[in-house]
Structure 1
Amino acid sequence: MNGTTTNGRTNGHSPIGPRLFSVNKPPSLDEFKKLTTDSQSLDYPLAASIESNVPIYDVPEFSELSPDQRSALQDEWYHILLSGPGVFVTKNLYKDNTLLNTVNKAYSKIIDEEKKRSGKRGDHFAGSGANDRIWNSFSKHCLQDAESFVNYYSNPWLPIISSAWLGPHHRLTAQVNIVKPGAKPQISHRDYHIGFQDNASCVQFPKALQVASQLLTLQGAVAHSDMPLESGPTRLLPFSQMFEEGYMAYRIPEFQDYFVENYVSVPLSQGDGLFFNPALFHAAGQNGSKDIMRSANLLQISSAFGKPMETIETYPLVEATWEFLKDMHKEEGLSDRVLAFVGNVAEGYPFPTNLDKRVPETAGMAPESEQGALIRGLSEGWSKKRVLEEMRKMQDDSRA
């Protein structure tokens, strides 16, 4: 089109760049180093202290602060997560250790009950069985001990912290992780959403969405045990959330090596909270203690906006179209038309799901999607009965 747009205006002096990051041009480690090591003056007047570039807040009784004072805290937390270190600590988020010990007993019962069941147990970024993990500890805690559940999740600081980053109507989920003495550290990574994609999937998301992904969730953890440095509290790389190519970079060995050489950790006491931007490079540390079972309730809080406007039920659509789709595939293979239809009729994203029944694999961090199952069914020549059985099982297993 000779550098001319459809409305006749030339764009010859303003070339349009690619919307995707390049797999052939690795992210710049030098730029990453500069971003994470440049001396930055941190000014958070409401923080009690700043340790290793991590602001530490002493959380008072909720009733002691006025709405304006709470809003001022939210302003600081928002700045920290967006354009500051990307992480902060809330000391004494839970002041009642008796409550936490009661909750820990509920967690122990859940873990003991689940260990009696057969089946593979998955984990994110760590080998199966390396830790004690409770998927969906939120729901399981409620069903195990409703009274302590009410007392735990009625903490008014939780929505104040969450809404500072996500605004109203967010949704909280939780997973318990208990790291045993001698357990190895995680690899450095970024979190949900794009952090749970493999590299081939990650590169397909445009640059703006890679940046926007971090605005859709807030990562948090409540310490359910004391976490001295020897027990391996979360390893953090302040300011790394601002590296736009971070989701493309964290799997690269040079970036992982740099993280290991430069991460910081802060000790936590039982009841403390740790909150961070999901794009922050981080990893659970190595538990080098002799007898500390490092226990945390991991909070993953999601924006209200990560939902479609209407509900689509895949099963009846596949039931009505499978024979037509099989005929198209028989003639064309996995053509653009076949892939377009599969992409429109089925869910390509396997979350939310039940991670007890649909175990994530360590390398990909995600179970198979509906689209993946349909493509596999076409490739293997499934009958309508078989594909519908697979779809129903996937849907049933995804329920809490």
Structure 2
Amino acid sequence: MNNQMAFLDHIDLEDFKASVERTTRAEEYPGAVRIDRNIPIYDGDTVDDSLIPEWTRLFETGPGVLVIKRAIRDLDAIDAASAVFQQIIEDEKAAGIAASDHFAKAGANDRIWNSHQKLCLRAPEVFLRYMTNPVIDTLYRSWLGPGYQMAAQVNQVRPSGKSQSPHRDYHLGFMTDAQLRQYPEPVHRHSHLFLMQGGVAHIDVPVDAGPTKLLPFSQVYPQGYAAAALPEFRDYFEQNYVQLPLEKGDCVFFSPALFHAAGENRTSDVVRMVNLLQASSPMVRAMESLDRAAMSRAVFPYLKGMDEEMLRLAIAATAEGYPFPTNLDSDPAIGGLAPESQQGLLLRAVREDWSAAQLDQELDAQLERRKA
């Protein structure tokens, strides 16, 4: 038996309980306005960079989940985005596209894959109002640092929509047991450190409407990716999960290694819409492919005249933030350690007042240089 098999064969529910049966202490999270069922609750009006060390610790060794009330204060922007998403759902249904769910039965909900790019290309003004958010930016930087890459998927759950199975998420959470057993222990312990999950409530979501079921502290259990599929762990999750109601504009963020599942919509009249945010470090492979050059072209006319902070947030939400991988023969580092990133190019285009045609030309040239 190799060491890897020994690591994954030592999966013990009592060890798991010892990891998760803990209490979140208010004094450890002084920036939170309260602790609700072990989950720190923050006020979006008071979020700034002083919270970054607290949040880093919270996701790594703490409860692994937090809620930010009023993270998005522009509720009109949420409503405008919801209207675009509804139209996309109808258009995709008409085109015969039936988006399935990873962890729920087909037909239980409406799913928009790559809602981030689809919103940007269909309604760039709405996209910028919706995504240029300093609260979300601070959260992502607390865990992923600069250059993070945003993606999103809309999940709309109708009345009677059933729960997902409890799970962990991408990367190892999307593998079979046989596949994940091929990866060594450090990958199981650390791969989740490069990703962050979240969700924006597009309507008020009472508990009966099925907000995400969460098990605080479960991200710290090192064998959790293999354990998540075992019946005894799933039973324990179902007996001990936490659900918190959300109001429109609230955000929940959690480690992808946290045991979680979308809840059952037990209402007769609430159609639950949440935009599921998935951000990744620029140093890892993201789950979805986005045409960030097309997104950069779409938002460019609306970037001119923005103040520096809003411009930074807009570009962070839109363009590719990392200069690698690339072809260093044709795209060498000149005057530094790395070539210019797409975000750097887009920022330069705004500051130098390029035309849309010049931006098109420079983006195409950059993409060509990066080809093998």
Same topology, TM > 0.5: yes
The alignment partner of 1:227 has SS state of coil
Aligned to 2:45: 60
Matched, 1:27 2:5: no
Question: How far, CA to CA, are the matches of 2:173 and 2:15 in structure 1?
Answer: 20
Aligned to 2:238: 260
Aligned to 2:352: none
Rate the CA distance shift 1:40–1:17 in 2: closer, same or farther, 3 A: farther
Question: How far, CA to CA, are the matches of 1:49 and 1:98 in structure 2?
Answer: 27
The alignment partner of 2:163 has SS state of coil
Question: How far, CA to CA, are the matches of 1:157 and 1:94 in structure 2?
Answer: 8
Aligned to 1:122: 100
Matched, 1:171 2:155: no
Matched, 1:138 2:123: no
The alignment partner of 2:16 has SS state of helix
Moved more, 259-268 or 113-122: 113-122
Cα-Cα RMSD: 1.9
Please point out which of 265, 270, 277 is paired with 1:299: 277
Aligned to 2:20: 36
Question: How far, CA to CA, are the matches of 1:224 and 1:202 in structure 2?
Answer: 34
Q: Report if aligned partners of 1:229, 1:267 keep a CA contact under 8 Å in 2.
A: yes
Rate the CA distance shift 1:119–1:107 in 2: closer, same or farther, 3 A: closer
Shift of 1:118: 2.0
Q: Give the AA of the match of 1:36.
A: V
Rate the CA distance shift 1:29–1:104 in 2: closer, same or farther, 3 A: same
The alignment partner of 2:45 has SS state of coil
Question: How far, CA to CA, are the matches of 1:142 and 1:39 in structure 2?
Answer: 41
Q: Report if aligned partners of 1:22, 1:203 keep a CA contact under 8 Å in 2.
A: no
Write the deviation string for residues 52-110 of structure 1: whole angstroms up to 9, x where unpaired.
Answer: 00000011177xxxxxxx23211111111001000000100111211111111000000
The alignment partner of 2:141 has SS state of helix
Question: How far, CA to CA, are the matches of 2:29 and 2:287 in structure 1?
Answer: 36
The alignment partner of 1:288 has SS state of coil
User: How many aligned residue pairs are there?
Assistant: 289
Aligned to 2:3: 18
Q: Give the AA of the match of 2:150.
A: L
Q: Report if aligned partners of 2:24, 2:35 keep a CA contact under 8 Å in 1.
A: no
Question: How far, CA to CA, are the matches of 1:88 and 1:40 in structure 2?
Answer: 11
Matched, 1:48 2:33: yes
Question: How far, CA to CA, are the matches of 2:66 and 2:97 in structure 1?
Answer: 37
Q: Give the AA of the match of 1:299.
A: L
Find runs of 4+ consecutive structure 1 residues off by over 6 angstroms: none
Matched, 1:283 2:268: no
Superposed counterparts of 1:323-338, under 5 Å: none
Moved more, 214-223 or 152-161: 152-161
Bigger radius of gyration, 1 or 2? 1
Question: How far, CA to CA, are the matches of 2:174 and 2:213 in structure 1?
Answer: 18
Write the deviation string for residues 107-161 of structure 1: whole angstroms up to 9, x where unpaired.
Answer: 0000000000125532110122210100000011112211111111111222211
Shift of 1:40: 5.2
Aligned to 1:219: 197
- TM-score normalised to the size of structure 2? 0.74
Structure 1 segments unaligned to the other structure (5+ residues): 1-15, 63-69, 308-349, 355-400
